[in-house]
């Protein structure tokens, strides 16, 4: 019975679709609400970085998730998403890094799932169910 459940390619597809799809929704929300990009630009500037780096959010939350969904350069997509999450944690969530949320879980569990799911994509690749398997 357990052997029938072993399907590495399907597991990789589920990982790519869940991480890519859920991160993409955050990117689309930012595109639809330009004020959020302005706010992120302010966060970037407050750390002494050039504001144009805010466009990296669109790479990490639009371009990379689409790459992951398609299974094209999934390892690169995972790296871009992971880098995006590290920057988000540093710029916005550093004070929550070692805190628990109201429900008792880690305050950054969403960001953590995106970060570690993206890292899993880096190490696992796209699998056979992809435009360009790796």
Domain extents in the chain: 15-124
**Which pTM does this prediction carry?**
0.92
- Greatest alpha-carbon span in the chain: 56
Tens-digit pLDDT profile for residues 29-39: 999 998 998 89
- Write b or e for each residue in 19-54: b if 16 or more Cβ atoms lie within 10 A of its Cβ, otherwise e: bbeebbebbeebeeeeeebeebbebbeeeeeeeeeb
Residue 125 Ramachandran class (φ > 0 left, ψ -120 to 50 alpha, else beta): left
For 76-111, write each residue's pLDDT tens digit: 999 999 999 999 999 888 888 889 988 889 989 999
């Amino acid at each position: 019975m357990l052997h029938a459940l072993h399907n590495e390619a399907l597991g990789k597809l589920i990982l790519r679709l869940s991480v890519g799809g859920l991160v993409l929704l955050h990117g689309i929300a930012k595109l639809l609400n330009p004020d959020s990009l302005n706010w992120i630009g302010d966060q970037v500037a407050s750390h002494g970085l050039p504001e144009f780096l805010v466009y990296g959010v669109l790479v990490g939350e639009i371009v990379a998730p689409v790459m992951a969904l398609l299974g094209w350069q999934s390892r690169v997509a995972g790296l871009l998403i992971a880098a995006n999450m590290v920057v988000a944690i540093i710029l916005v969530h550093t004070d929550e890094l070692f805190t628990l949320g109201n429900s008792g879980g880690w305050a950054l569990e969403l960001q953590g799932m995106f970060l570690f799911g993206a890292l899993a994509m880096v190490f696992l690749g796209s699998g056979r169910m992809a435009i360009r398997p790796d």
